[in-house]
């Protein structure tokens, strides 16, 4: 794992999110867990070498941020915004998160097959939140403060974790640095407001949900990505393009690569981003 400060560790090299932890004088706080089983086990071992795990915080409910909670069972309390808790590993018509996690094992973590649970076992103890909150929440752990800031947009329960003593913020998927941004079911207006809130923090390190560690200087770039998508789809609607024409013609695949291990998802991202924005901006009811 990459060590940003004497107390902050993160890993930006895995398929999935950027799982991280912070070492305090009273134990360790984990922020998002690895999607891949062997990486989750290894991260827990490393974190516990620095002290007992006090809390596991998930910044959102998407499977790449939460699947590894299973391998952190018994390690501290799990902290969830209500929006994360309500949607934790919920199967929807568009996605079966358990199947999505299993899909990555042969290609990205073949050794993880030996410790990948059966569905019933996983859902029997998938390690969902025991501390559930709305709005913001502040935790004090030893000599560190953890400000859990509600930053909806990418998902309704999205949070950023600000650790002022380390001058670090973990934004989750409010920021995708130099890789494709997944819009899907997002609320772009809320997302833009959340970027403003993060921009108001005095930090040296910004750990995004995906992509390399950066600084607050990247926030205008993330804002531009969102606005470009909205502008392009709004222009398509103004020109009278159908939903299908918009999906075919509005495409930002040449802008950034997809994050690690998911290059095959490029067309899916472009299609879903354009389709979801078309539905929202045109007032059309979403379709499959």
* 137 beta partners: 148
Separation between Cα atoms, residue 70 and residue 128, nearest integer Å: 9
pLDDT at 94: 84
Q: Which residue has the tokens 């502040």?
A: 138
Q: Which run of H or E residues covers position 122?
A: helix 119-124
Say how many C-beta atoms besides its own lie within 10 A of residue 12's C-beta: 19
Is pLDDT at 227 greater than 80 in this prediction?
A: yes
Alpha carbon 183 to its chain centroid, in Å, reads: 12
Judge contact between 188 and 153, C-beta under 8 A: yes
pLDDT at 238: 97
Work out the average pLDDT over 191-216: 98
Query: Class of 2-217 per CATH?
Result: alpha beta
The torsion defined by the Cα of 80, 67, 183 and 201, in degrees rounded to 10, comes to 50
How do residues 119-142 score in pLDDT, each as one tens digit? Answer: 999 999 999 999 999 999 999 999
Judge contact between 203 and 168, C-beta under 8 A: yes
- Measured between alpha carbons, how far apart are the two ends of the chain, in Å? 39
The number of C-alpha atoms within 13 Å of 268 and in the hemisphere containing its C-beta is: 8
pLDDT at 288: 43
Is pLDDT at 287 greater than 70 in this prediction?
A: no
Judge contact between 138 and 145, C-beta under 8 A: yes
pLDDT at 283: 86
Cα separations in angstroms, 152 against 84, 130, 193, 276: 11, 21, 8, 17
pLDDT at 56: 98
160: tokens are: 């950023």
Question: Hey, CA dihedral for 65, 79, 74, 123, is it positive or negative?
Answer: negative
Judge contact between 71 and 44, C-beta under 8 A: yes
pLDDT at 164: 98
How do residues 153-190 score in pLDDT, each as one tens digit? Answer: 999 999 999 999 999 999 999 999 999 999 988 999 99
Judge contact between 207 and 10, C-beta under 8 A: yes
Separation between Cα atoms, residue 256 and residue 6, nearest integer Å: 32
SS3 sequence, 209-277? Answer: EECCCECHHHHHHHHHHHHHHHHHHHHHHHCCCCHHHHHHHCCCCCCCCCCCCCHHHHHHHHHHHHHHH
Work out the average pLDDT over 50-68: 98
How do residues 89-126 score in pLDDT, each as one tens digit? Answer: 999 988 999 999 999 999 999 999 999 999 999 999 99
What is the b/e burial string over 234-243, where b = at least 16 CB atoms within 10 angstroms of the residue's CB? eebbeeebeb
- To the nearest whole number, what is the mean pLDDT of the chain? 96
């Amino acid at each position: 794992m990459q060590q940003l400060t004497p107390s902050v560790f993160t890993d930006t090299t895995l398929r999935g999110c950027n799982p991280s932890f912070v070492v305090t004088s009273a134990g360790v706080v984990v922020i998002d867990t690895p999607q891949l089983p062997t990486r989750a086990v290894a991260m827990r071992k490393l974190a516990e070498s620095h002290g007992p795990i006090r809390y596991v915080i998930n910044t959102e409910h998407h499977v790449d941020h939460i699947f590894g909670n299973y391998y952190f069972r018994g390690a501290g309390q799990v902290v969830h915004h209500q929006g994360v808790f309500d949607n934790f590993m919920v199967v929807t018509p568009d996605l079966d998160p358990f199947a999505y996690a299993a899909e990555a094992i042969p290609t990205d973590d073949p050794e993880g097959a030996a410790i990948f649970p059966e569905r019933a076992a996983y859902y029997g103890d998938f390690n969902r939140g025991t501390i559930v909150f709305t709005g913001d929440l502040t935790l004090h752990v030893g000599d560190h403060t953890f400000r859990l800031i509600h930053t909806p947009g990418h998902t309704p329960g999205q949070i950023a974790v600000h650790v002022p003593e380390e001058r670090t913020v973990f934004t989750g998927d409010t920021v995708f640095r130099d890789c494709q941004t997944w819009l899907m079911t997002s609320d772009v207006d809320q997302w833009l407001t959340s970027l403003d809130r993060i921009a108001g923090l005095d930090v040296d390190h910004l750990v995004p949900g995906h992509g390399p560690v950066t600084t607050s200087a990247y926030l205008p770039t993330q804002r531009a990505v969102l606005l470009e998508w909205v502008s392009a789809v709004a222009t398509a609607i103004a020109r009278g393009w159908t939903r299908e024409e918009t999906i075919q013609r509005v495409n930002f695949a040449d802008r950034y690569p997809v994050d690690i291990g998911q290059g095959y998802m490029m067309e899916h991202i472009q299609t879903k981003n354009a389709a979801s924005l078309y539905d929202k901006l045109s007032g059309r009811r979403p379709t499959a």
